[in-house]
């Protein structure tokens, strides 16, 4: 089974977290699910370089990449991913959707309202459990 190294940015602006909705996919189990933005790590890229590039490509914004929140290993029916999740910040919320069909800025406590891709759920749970989670 194919294994893919990916990065995800948990982008925070004014105590809210950016959540992105995928479009229709050939893989029904991730089709139209919410996820944290990011993508595949290319050859000779560090995780941070890949994340900055993916965010520029997907959202047309620059981010400040902070600490790594966690690494999620998840097996989907057709592939496995190892997702490196980073806490990030952005000075603005003006994004351009180039690959996703919807975006939402939510407080930590609101994250469970969305239908998340399975690989993102561990990061959602970690954020919601965080003692220093942004307050509404």
- pLDDT tens string 71-120: 999 999 999 999 999 999 999 899 999 999 999 999 999 999 999 999 99
Q: Does domain 2-129 have CATH number 3.90.79.10?
A: yes
Question: So what's the pLDDT on residue 1?
Answer: 86
Full-model pTM: 0.92
Please count the residues of the chain.
Answer: 136
The percentage of residues in the chain with a pLDDT greater than 90, rounded to a whole number, is 88
Residues 119, 22: contact at Cβ < 8 Å? no
Tokens of 111: 């994250």
- Cβ neighbours of residue 88 closer than 8 Å, sequence gap 6 or more: 9, 10, 11, 12, 51, 55, 63, 64, 65, 66
CB burial string 83-107: b at 16+ within 10 A, e below = bbbbbbebeeeebeeeebeebebbe
Residue the block writes with tokens 């029904």: 28
> Alpha-carbon distance 131 to 127, whole Å?
9
Question: So what's the pLDDT on residue 92?
Answer: 86
Instruction: Tell me what the pLDDT averaged over the chain comes to.
Output: 93
Q: Does the structure show a pLDDT above 80 at 132?
A: no
């Amino acid at each position: 089974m194919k294994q893919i190294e990916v990065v995800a940015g948990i982008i925070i602006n004014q105590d809210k977290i950016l959540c992105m909705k995928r479009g229709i996919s050939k893989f029904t189990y991730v089709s139209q699910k919410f996820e944290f933005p990011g993508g595949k790590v290319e050859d000779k890229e560090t995780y941070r370089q890949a994340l900055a590039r993916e965010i520029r490509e997907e959202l047309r914004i620059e981010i400040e990449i902070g600490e790594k929140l966690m690494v999620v290993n998840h097996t989907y029916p057709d592939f496995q991913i190892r997702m490196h999740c980073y806490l990030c910040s952005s000075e603005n919320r003006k994004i351009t959707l180039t690959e996703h069909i919807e975006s939402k800025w939510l407080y930590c406590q609101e994250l469970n309202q969305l239908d998340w891709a399975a690989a993102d759920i561990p990061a959602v749970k970690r954020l919601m459990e965080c003692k220093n989670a942004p307050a509404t």
